[in-house]
Amino acid sequence: MLTLTGKHTYLRPLEPEDLTFIHGIENDESIWKISNTITPYSKYLIKQYLDHAHKDIFEVKQLRFVICNNQEESIGMIDIFDFDFKNRRAGIGILVKDTENRQKGHGKEALELLTNYCFTHLDLHQLYCNISEDNTASLTLFKNQGFKEIGLKKDWNFLNGQYKNEYLFQLINTDVY
């Protein structure tokens, strides 16, 4: 089993036992704006997703890890999505679920671990992320990890009766090609 380990945080693949944790995240309306979710997910659908989570990234074009702290508590998730091996790029999304686990370095360490994995094991050339203009924590996190703002998508997402801009950030692996 692939586990990416840092000093205070580690990333592990999804397990069937994560059903309740993922169900809680996917159905937490307070974070739907981050993922553009508008409908809840049943445990049945999440169980089906978990049943297929072991599939190869080259087949399903995504890979999700659970972010855990040193006490082996699941505190969030980090994803690789839109995996494009031909063009050697992928998107990254991250969420630390509860506010008491934020601003403690877990997101930073998880992003470092996943970025290193993408560049060294998946041989990717670039990573990107999409961040709402009002998500200051994520804007700061990705900027501090070397991601560069490369664009602004005006009125991109409609949330709570108003349009929000979304930034596009990119990190190019200059050590390869």
The predicted structure's pLDDT at residue 176: 61
In a domain, 135, yes or no: yes
Report d(CA 67, CA 97) in Å as an integer. Answer: 10
Report d(CA 24, CA 171) in Å as an integer. Answer: 31
pLDDT at 119 over 60: yes
pLDDT at 177 over 60: no
Report d(CA 58, CA 122) in Å as an integer. Answer: 10
The CATH number of residue 68's host domain is 3.40.630.30
Domain region containing 68? 4-172
The per-residue pLDDT of the chain, averaged, comes to: 90
What is the mean pLDDT of the segment spanning 30-55? 81
In a domain, 93, yes or no: yes
Report d(CA 157, CA 136) in Å as an integer. Answer: 16
Report d(CA 53, CA 46) in Å as an integer. Answer: 10
Q: Which long-range contacts (CB under 8 A, 24 or more apart) does 47-52 make?
A: 47/16, 47/19, 49/22, 50/14, 50/15, 50/16, 50/18, 50/19, 50/22, 51/16
In a domain, 71, yes or no: yes
Number of domains in the chain: 1
In a domain, 177, yes or no: no
Report d(CA 26, CA 19) in Å as an integer. Answer: 10
pTM (2 d.p.): 0.90
